Amino acid sequence: MGLLSSLAGLFKRPRGGLVSSTLNEETGEMETTQYTAFFDVGDYLSGQDLGVQIVIEMAKKEVPGWYDLKVSMGALGPDDSYAPGVVTLYFYNLTQLGESLKLIRASCDNVTINKDEVCLDIDGEFRTRLDAGMFPAFTYAKAFEISLLVEFAGEAIEKKFTVPRLSCQEMDTQFGQNGKPDYPWFVGQ
């Protein structure tokens, strides 16, 4: 029976996720947080006319239980520290007019994510998806710094974002059934 419960424990960790335990100074108890393989932030790029959602997914290929088995055997190697960080950008045109947008550069820690400049036509009051590219992502990171340089409505805009890793609870609160993302254009709706 002990072997079966040990094997079951190998499959409890969320796919591509991270488990972190910290000491609660007030209660003296350990608190455990399970994180997903997703990082997400949404904020304005240009006044309140253009919003951007940045999503990063750790795209590490996993065989269920294999990582946990390697941990238990002390067999982790350098390849286990990094995974492709797949970056998807969602641009929200919050005006009623269609506009053009050019992604000039997306980068993480001075590593360029996009290979080429990309031009998009964004309809008014519409969300447009762009698969921006990938970068080598540290598997155990809890946040990444992403810089974007875009041109929107003839204006060059450069902005940095801290993109936090979502806990399983945050993922459910924001994107689960009846979930609502905490992007500023959703506040009060």
3-state secondary structure the chain: CHHHHHHHHHCCCCCCCEEEEEECCCCCCEEEEEEEEEEEEEEEEECCCEEEEEEEEECCCCCCCHHHHHHHHCCCCHHHHEEEEEEEEEEEECCCCCEEEEEEEEEECCEECCCCCEEEEECCCEEEEEEEEEEEEECCCCEEEEEEEEEECCEEEEEEEEEEEEEHHHHHHHHCCCCCCCCHHHCCC
pLDDT tens sequence across 40-50: 999 999 888 89
Whole-prediction pTM: 0.82
**Domains of the chain with CATH codes:** 38-64+82-186 (2.60.40.10)
pLDDT tens sequence across 76-132: 666 667 889 999 999 999 988 888 999 999 999 889 999 899 999 988 888 999 999
Average per-residue pLDDT for the chain? 83
